Amino acid sequence: MYKNFKLKKYLLFLLISISFFKCKIDSRNTHKTVALSNNAKTLNFEINKNIFITSFDSIFKKEKLIKLETKPISLITNVYRVDYYNNNIYIIDSGTDYSVTCFDSKGTFKFKLKKIGRGPHEYTKIVYGAVNDYNGDIEIIANMGRDFIVYDSLGNFKERTKLPYTAKSFCSLKSKRYFYKGYVEQSENENTNFRVYSTNYTGKDIKKYLPYLVSKNPEAGSHYLYGFSKRKKGEYRFVEKYNDTVYKINSETFTPLYKINFVGYEDNKPDNFLYDSEKYGNQMKKAKELKIPSISNFQEYDSYITGKYTKIKNKKEYVYRFIYDKINKKIIQNRSMVPLSRRLNINTPELLPDFSMNGTPSCYIYPVDIDNYINDSRLNHYEDEKKRRHELTSYFEYDGNVDANPYILQYKPLK
């Protein structure tokens, strides 16, 4: 009987030990690598061909102009991102003021979230910020990209999480978040790392996307750039510099959606250019040598895609703005400048929408820029220059205050 008791005790110990080691193994393997498919639609961009749209107003027609209230507490120094939730406009300034300023749908100031400091509810600077589509929480990456801080829709502190990696941007879905790492690591201990991570709201169930070689090359210090753009509630696009693939993100998937084909580019970009940080070192420098064009902004709407890409010419970067017609599958605008009543057949600004407010194509403009356009000396060459200046003033409902907060311009696509 004593032997049976010892045997049972030994078996129980063995089972507990197996369970313990299994848990230890499982805890070390919570990161799952996700392989992506190659199924993507091709978008052709003729980068050596200037294409002028005949009537910008026939595609993006001004529907509403919102003047953000100007007072000392509501002043916006730098617009980094604009978000919209429950009829409120949120301006995220991660460049100078490190604040989130809230206005109602008419532009009336409501409050400003600015908690700079080293306390548990504070931050030293904002790296990136956004408003959660599902609960209105104001979420920010702070303090060199290692802290994720959540405030409620009124700016009250909720929680703070230490990130296991340095993040540059993120997007929040109903049950998970995606974080973009956005830089090249240098390490003697690891061989491979990843640029995008997803987690649930508790920070668990981590999945990894877009691998690259961890570099020992001292020149490999250039950062990946860009990140997430909102298509609609619960759906985003992911774009990064030197990556010709645009990805679709929702709660179920992270998958390639579009492949950008830069027609006219001598295709000498190596297939592993983004992956092999060790070989290509300073990618920004190498990209200029190889004249690699790259998407820098991508906003998708029902019938159109708008955005920007950079083109290398004479070792300099030039920014081109484009409009892609999804129905007819072609570029209908491709140019390196934004005209404002400088061509005979254009009497309204051609300001491309660069963000979405509840699905509405939108953009912002500073009053000082409006003033510069209206008083541009080049308009003096037109016989009807007074009429043109008046039309620009009327279009922007401009009151002459160059120090006012930015204007939000909303469009209504006609197709």
Q: What is the mean pLDDT of residues 232-249?
A: 92
Nearest to 167 by CA among 132, 203, 138: 203
Q: What is the mean pLDDT of residues 190-204?
A: 86
Q: What is the mean pLDDT of residues 107-129?
A: 95
* Each residue's pLDDT tens digit, 129-156: 999 999 999 999 998 899 999 999 999 9
* Each residue's pLDDT tens digit, 157-166: 999 999 888 8
Any idea where the domains of the chain sit in the sequence?
A: 38-413
Whether 224 shows a pLDDT value over 70: the answer reads no
Q: Is 59 helix (H, G, I), strand (E, B) or coil?
A: coil
Instruction: Enter the tokens of residue 256.
Output: 């390639």
* pLDDT more than 70, % of the chain: 84
Give, in order, the Cα–Cα distances in Å from 241 to each of 75, 207, 219, 238, 308: 32, 22, 18, 11, 11
Q: What is the mean pLDDT of residues 185-201?
A: 80
Band of residue 17 on the pLDDT scale cut at 50, 70, 90: very low
Please, what is the Cα angle at 383 between 382 and 388, to 5 degrees? 65
> For residue 109, what pLDDT is reported?
98
Residue type, 349: P
The rounded distance, in Å, linking the Cα atoms of 107 and 258 is 36
Mean pLDDT taken over the chain: 83
Whether 341 shows a pLDDT value over 80: the answer reads no
Band of residue 37 on the pLDDT scale cut at 50, 70, 90: low
The rounded distance, in Å, linking the Cα atoms of 413 and 1 is 85
Nearest to 53 by CA among 335, 307, 320, 303: 335
Higher pLDDT, 184 or 15: 184
The CATH fold assigned to 38-413 is Methylamine Dehydrogenase; Chain H (2.130.10)
> For residue 114, what pLDDT is reported?
95
CB atoms within 10 A of CB 155: 16
Q: What is the mean pLDDT of residues 284-313?
A: 89
Band of residue 326 on the pLDDT scale cut at 50, 70, 90: very high
Residues 6+ apart with CB under 8 A from 215: 184, 185, 186, 277, 278, 281
> For residue 18, what pLDDT is reported?
38
Q: What is the mean pLDDT of residues 100-114?
A: 97
Band of residue 187 on the pLDDT scale cut at 50, 70, 90: low
> For residue 205, what pLDDT is reported?
83
> For residue 343, what pLDDT is reported?
38
Whether 249 shows a pLDDT value over 60: the answer reads yes
* Each residue's pLDDT tens digit, 55-100: 888 889 999 999 999 999 999 999 999 999 999 999 999 878 999 9
Residue type, 222: S
The rounded distance, in Å, linking the Cα atoms of 77 and 33 is 40
Higher pLDDT, 2 or 209: 209
Whether 14 shows a pLDDT value over 70: the answer reads no
The rounded distance, in Å, linking the Cα atoms of 295 and 243 is 8
Residues 6+ apart with CB under 8 A from 219: 281, 282, 285
Whether 337 shows a pLDDT value over 80: the answer reads no
